[in-house]
Chains A and B, each alone.
Chain A
Amino acid sequence: MENKDIFDGLIGGRKLSKKYIREDISELKGSELQSELDRKIARLMILHPELVRFRNNSLSGLDELTKKALLEDMYDVLGVTPLRNE
């Protein structure tokens, strides 16, 4: 019997059409990300440019605790409830 929750095949193979790529954002340049936490924050800063801005958008001067607090604040503003096991 087919289980509708199970997917074992493959999808896609086609690059996203240009008309569906956001033009308002681009990859960070020259930024060194030290951890997964850095990556999460940097991604949110790119995807939601209105959210937070500080000098060069650089995370290098922030310690771990500050970064965690920053991420929590960003989640709060975006309405993201931290997922279980996060």
Chain B
Amino acid sequence: MKIFLRNLFSKLLVISQRKKIVEILKEIQILRSNSNQMTDAKIVRLTTDEARERIDKLWWKLPNVSAQDMYDEGDSHWKWEELTKFYENKILHECVAILSQEDYLEGAMIYHFNAKSKLEQGKGSVYVERVASAPHNRNWLVFQPFYKGVGTVLLYWAVIESYNAGLRGRVSLESLPTPSTVNFYKNKGFVRIDLTQPSDDLVDYELPESAALTWLKQEGDLP
């Protein structure tokens, strides 16, 4: 009994300590997949501890997903703990995640404020180095994803951050031009920078100011 209580106490202590260190950046809503209802969530700053405990140790523990399927995803080897450690406590770099009501991290992103715009000379941009929705939110990996559109929410957060940093919402990134991502980028107004880049590798995209402002207005964040 004593051991049980001690274990319970230490678990509660860990949970309370973990809650304390979560820095909430914004209250948001995300789309729950099974009910198609919006539900409350938070954008939080991702610490190395959270990255290790809630991403590296948890994300790829999926039932019924083969090692080959994981490998094919391209990010199963990413070590978020190491990535976040490098950028922690730096102002020009951010690591964020979406924390759901279920206390899971549903997606994560690393981005930088010190990038040059590739479209407009002399202007700055936010560069998104990595975005990943949690594997349990990828409908091609699991039968019933928990949440839909986590990547969209993260990219929109990058636009907000760019806008608030006086970079007019410009966001640049490098991505494989798969049919679904190309459709998404086109729909949001991302521009492919260099059409001569081979399409079997990462290619450069940038969301120009005009498209960023349109997106902010569509979401009702700008009048």
Whether A associates with B in a native complex is yes
Q: Are A11 and B174 in contact (CB under 8 A)?
A: yes
Partner of B124, one of A4, A9, A47: A47
- The yes or no answer to B114 lying at the interface (CB within 8 A) is yes
Q: Are A21 and B116 in contact (CB under 8 A)?
A: yes
Q: Give the residues in chain A near B128, CB-CB below 8 Å.
A: 11-12
In the complex, which residue of chain A has the Cβ closest to the Cβ of B90?
Answer: A27
Q: Are B130 and A27 in contact (CB under 8 A)?
A: no
Which residues of B70-94 have CB atoms within 8 Å of chain A's CB atoms?
73-75, 78, 90-92
Interface size on A, residues (CB 8 A): 39
Q: Are A12 and B130 in contact (CB under 8 A)?
A: yes
Q: Are A8 and B139 in contact (CB under 8 A)?
A: yes
Q: Are B91 and A42 in contact (CB under 8 A)?
A: yes
B interface: dominant SS? mixed
Q: Are B130 and A22 in contact (CB under 8 A)?
A: no
- The yes or no answer to A39 lying at the interface (CB within 8 A) is yes
Which residues of B162-176 have CB atoms within 8 Å of chain A's CB atoms?
163-167, 172-175
Q: Give the residues in chain B near A68, CB-CB below 8 Å.
A: none
Which residues of A33-70 have CB atoms within 8 Å of chain B's CB atoms?
33, 36, 39-40, 42-44, 46-48
- Interface residues of B, Cβ cutoff 8 Å to A: 23, 25-27, 73-75, 78, 90-92, 112-116, 118, 124, 127-133, 137-139, 145, 148-152, 155, 160, 163-167, 172-175, 178, 180-181, 183-184, 186-187, 202, 216, 220-223
Interface pairs (27), CB distance under 8 Å: A2-B180, A5-B187, A6-B149, A7-B155, A8-B137, A8-B151, A9-B132, A9-B151, A10-B73, A10-B132, A11-B131, A11-B132, A11-B181, A12-B128, A14-B129, A16-B112, A20-B172, A22-B114, A25-B114, A33-B91, A44-B165, A47-B124, A47-B165, A48-B166, A80-B166, A83-B160, A84-B222
